[in-house]
Structures are given as C-alpha cells and as structure tokens.
C-alpha cells in the first residue's frame, strides 16, 4: 500500500476533525454523527481510523484524569 499523498492526508485529517467536533458537540452521541463517521471512514486508511479512534479514547481519558473526574471501576478499587 502506497502512503497517502499530502492532499489525501489533509482530507483525512479534516474529516477526522469534523467527526471529533461533532462528537464533542453532541456529548459523544455517535448516532448523531453517523454521516461524518462515514465520511471519515471513506477519507482515511483503515489503519489510521483504528489509530485515531484509540487516540481519541486516550485523549478523553487523559482529559478526565487531569481534571480529577476519573472514577476507577469497582473491580479496580477492590484489587
């Protein structure tokens, strides 16, 4: 698989940013962002989508953790 061109990368990143903004604006309600998710998936290589999804999860966890909002699960507290 050839690496995406600069234009393809920019289109992918733009689609990702629009999708993420939709999730932020709609309290992580993916149902409201289906069309943007489809555009994101159509614009980016599958490996990138997987990476970006994991990256968003990590960034959201980090944001909550740094704000003191992270609550460990019951199984973690009992360990």
Q: Is the overall model pTM greater than 0.85, yes or no?
A: no
44 belongs to a structural domain: yes
Q: What is the pLDDT of residue 78?
A: 55
73 belongs to a structural domain: no
CA atoms of 28 and 38, how far apart (whole Å): 16
Note down the domain range covering 51: 4-62
71 belongs to a structural domain: no
What's the number of domains the chain is made of? 1
Q: What letters, b where the CB count within 10 A reaches 16 and e where it falls short, cover 4-35?
A: eeeeeeebbeebbebbbebbeeeeeeeeebee
Token digits of residue 16: 């990702």
Q: What is the pLDDT of residue 76?
A: 55
Taking the chain (79 residues) in runs of 10, the rounded mean pLDDT of each run is: 89 97 94 96 96 96 86 62
35 belongs to a structural domain: yes
Q: What is the pLDDT of residue 77?
A: 54
Q: Which of 79, 61, 3, 44 is nearest to 17 (CA)?
A: 44
């Amino acid at each position: 698989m050839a690496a995406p061109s600069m234009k393809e990368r920019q289109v992918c990143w733009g689609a990702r940013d629009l999708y993420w903004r939709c999730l932020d604006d709609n309290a992580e309600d993916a149902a409201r962002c289906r069309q943007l998710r489809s555009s994101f998936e159509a614009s980016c290589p599958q490996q990138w989508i997987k990476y970006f999804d994991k990256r968003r999860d990590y960034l959201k966890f980090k944001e909550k953790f740094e704000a003191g909002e992270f609550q460990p699960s019951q199984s973690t507290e009992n360990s």
